[in-house]
Amino acid sequence: MSDSSVRQPWSLSELVADLRSGRTTPEAALRRSRDRIAGTEERVRAWVAFDDSAADSLAAVRTGALGGVPMGVKDIIDLGGLPTRCGSVLRADAGPAERDAPVVEAWRAAGAIPVGKTVTTEFAFFAPGPTRNPANLRHTPGGSSSGSAAAVASGQVPLAIGSQTAGSVTRPAAYCGVASLVLRHGHLSTDGVAGLSPSLDAHGVYAAGAADVSLAWAALTGEPDPARDAHTTPRIALWNAAPLATVSDEMGAALASAEARLTDRGATIDVFPLEALIAEVTTAHPVVMAYEAARERSAELERADQLSAPLAGLLRTGAATSESDYRAACRLVAAARTELGALLTQYDAVLGPAAPGAAPQGLDATGDPVLSRPWQALGLPTVAVPGLRNAAGLPLGLQVIAGSEAAALRAAVWVERSLNG
């Protein structure tokens, strides 16, 4: 195996089909996961702790929708019996969580088996952990849900969960070349999650492709799998993100190529008409995030000398932000949400780049979340779609935004199939 790439995602759809047909068993799936971790973890470094009791849970999940699928859990989310250390020295001596967070309980009810905790950046902000990008070990996997994205991209598990406050799920998925779904804000309880911003924090899930994420979401919610309805050509508003960031030439070319291929497949594609509005929302997002983070993490703010400079800066900025500025930012976002909602009655989805480009080289930074900020502020579900690459072979991810998880997943699966067909 090449040292430069250990990317080999494990299809959730294929595993679930094999489990349901009896071609494999939960025991065999767990064994495969552990073997793959043993063979790649020294290079990928996606995990901070393993649940030695995972095998004890297998008998209880044979009838679950996912029926014994191994899963990773981001280390800001409580997993009963293991500490929640949040990638921070402040939690280095944390004892084990007494119980699962509600979101973990929901995944267990769907049949998933948590096998351990995955690396997060410090309190889900910018200071990176040791994880490397399976597509190229010299490049960042992104953050903050770096371990979950890398664990899925390297085939250590076919499913992992994370969280997003700015771009913590979408960006790692794009960099590592896997799919992700960020759920609508408030869709599931965030109790038991060490978040940053109550009005922005949302749950996320990773799997190999959009159809795999769609299957996972259906298993979690009990709703029909949107992938089954992904045969209708969608009407798409194409967002090139030009006012927000310098999108790389290769990402710009990839987006143009995708537009041409999707049009050939019958999609109706128009230029996204609300660029100025999205730019305004993007400036409001950091105000809301900093203000709420200073209050959500007030205990850590009191020990800011033990935090990384970026996190200490965020909390101090938030503490200095006036309530009137915070309220103004919230009002701007609320008004924009109404306007975007009206647009999404005319289009099935918005399609744009998931990150300004491919994963930057180096492990000292996690890249720029700017292209996720507006959609996260608006609380809309987003799906990262893999499949495109630059000349060096690094993944280039797109993102699909819609008014509901089902609509986003239907459009994302259609896009994925059209790009790969």
3-class SS at 202? strand
142 Rama class: left (phi>0) / alpha (psi -120 to 50) / beta:
left
Beta strands in 46-186 (DSSP E): 47-50, 69-74, 112-118, 159-164, 179-182
Annotation marks residue 180 as catalytic: no
Beta strands in 273-394 (DSSP E): 349-353, 382-389
Tokens read off for 140? 């960042």
Alpha carbon distance 108, 129 (integer Å)? 27
Among 144, 146, 148, 418, the active-site one is 144
Q: What are phi and psi of 402, to 5 degrees?
A: -150, 180
Task: Report whether 358 contacts 404 (CB < 8 A).
Answer: no
Annotation marks residue 74 as catalytic: yes
Annotation marks residue 117 as catalytic: no
Among 145, 154, 168, 197, the active-site one is 168
Among 33, 74, 163, 197, the active-site one is 74
Closest CA to 217 of 59, 373, 352, 413: 413
Measured CA angle at 106 (ends 100, 109), to 5 deg: 105
Residue 407: count other Cβ atoms within 10 Å of its Cβ.
22
Task: Report whether 258 contacts 246 (CB < 8 A).
Answer: no
Alpha carbon distance 114, 119 (integer Å)? 14
Tokens read off for 173? 């998925």
Closest CA to 386 of 170, 118, 225: 170
Give the type of residue at 259: E
Catalytic residues: 74, 144, 168
